[in-house]
Amino acid sequence: MDYINDPRFQGLKPFENKIWLSSPTMHGDEQKWVDEAIRTNWVSTVGENINVIEEQVAGIVGRKYALALASGTAALHLAIRLCAEKLYGQPPAGQGSLAGKKVFASNMTFAATVNPICYEGGTPVFIDSEYETWNMDPKALEKAFKKYPDVKLIVMAHLYGSPAKIDAIRKIADRHGALIVEDAAESFGASFQGAQTGSFGDVSILSGNGNKIITGSSGGFLLTDSEEDASRVRKWSTQSREAAPWYQHEEMGYNYRMSNIIAGILRGQLPYLEEHIEQKRQIYRRYKEGLKDLPVTMNPFDEKNSKPNYWLSCMLIDPKAMCRTVRGDKDELWISEQGTSCPGEILAALKSYNAEGRPIWKPMYLQPIYRNQDFVVAVKGQKVLDVGADVFRRGVCLPSDNKMTKEEQEKVIRIVRSCFE
């Protein structure tokens, strides 16, 4: 559809410079530490930048140890393996640490939260979300334990920077003797009841991916309070080399350590964490104000107990304001109708004006690779709630780049509003 010449968008011109969903924001300090690594020739997986960033991240989150790794996914993999070996022991050679075991996992998240379960031979059982935060529903989790009482591992994520109901999830886990891997990749700097996300899991992780609130272009961190666990992860991440004069290996290892170059970028980024959060918060507030008379709501959070980092501002269209739409695995169709819209139309309109949005994460149990895995939903009265699929159908991630000016955001708001006219 030609949105540029659509009369609903009269007078609007495409952005000269693309408005991104969430792009890296560099400040110049990053170059100082990268140059220092190059000048001193510490460009591999050891160096002062790594030492400093590990100490600083651990201090911010409130953990004793932060292990700098190549990515958030690498951190998740080692966190899941660490917990699995605590629960089930070291597996035989060639067998994953979760072989034959089920693991409860967030349903509405990026695939990186779940894939490492399968790296270790486990089977994910997906737990539905709840509407209050879009995160793992404690009621559905409790129901899952009734169905699978032998499960001992939970992998849960904080979606779009909004903390989950981690207090309730922790109580359930403790009652069933289960460990928690906390995926705080999207929520660095967010807090729940005064404590930072990343501090609640038995093992937790952060991400420094290019679109995150603090970035090294890549990189991630595994967070723990155990010196023994930190030592094991450090060893695994450097190919599990033993303390011998030759290359000796007695267990599986990986090339997962962060480089000193990436750590230098993160070292320069870290002082700007609170500034980035405030910029994202202002973006969220402007969307909430600018769209308040439309049949939409913004992505929710627990205002009493949590402080998000507002990584992405997302919008949920009221059911009665959804235009007729249908989605396949890779394509979708919709019919534009006055007073209604849908995520596909809004994203297409934004794209035509050179702005980037994104659909809400497609729930894991709807992904072709995971369609045969079990999925547990909560029950409200006689109504079975499939919250993740509903939010995916009606939700859209709006441009949330913290370099977007107020005037540019006002134009984005006008584009969204025009879709409902």
Q: Which residues are the active-site residues? A: 212
The packing angle between helices 166-175 and 138-147, to 10°, is 20
On whether the CB atoms of residues 234 and 74 are closer than 8 A, the answer is no
Other CB atoms within a 10 A radius of the CB of residue 186 amount to 27
On whether the CB atoms of residues 128 and 388 are closer than 8 A, the answer is yes
Q: Which residues, at least 6 apart from 287, have a Cβ–Cβ distance to it below 8 Å?
A: 298, 313, 315, 398, 409, 413
Short-list 105, 185, 74, 94, CA closest to 370: 105
Quickly list DSSP for 335-351: ---TT-B-HHHHHHHHH
Q: Is 29 exposed, middle or buried (0-12, 13-18, 19+ CB in 10 A)?
A: middle
Q: Of how many residues is the chain composed?
A: 421
Short-list 71, 144, 137, 152, CA closest to 106: 137
255 phi and psi angles, rounded to 5 deg: -95, 70
Short-list 206, 205, 225, 224, CA closest to 216: 206
CA pair distance 167, 174, nearest whole angstrom:
11
CA pair distance 265, 30, nearest whole angstrom:
4
Q: Which residues, at least 6 apart from 60, have a Cβ–Cβ distance to it below 8 Å?
A: 189, 196, 270, 273
13 φψ region: left (φ > 0), alpha (ψ -120 to 50), beta (else): beta
On whether the CB atoms of residues 220 and 70 are closer than 8 A, the answer is yes
Q: Is 273 exposed, middle or buried (0-12, 13-18, 19+ CB in 10 A)?
A: middle
Q: Which residues, at least 6 apart from 102, have a Cβ–Cβ distance to it below 8 Å?
A: 122, 123, 124, 125, 148, 150, 151
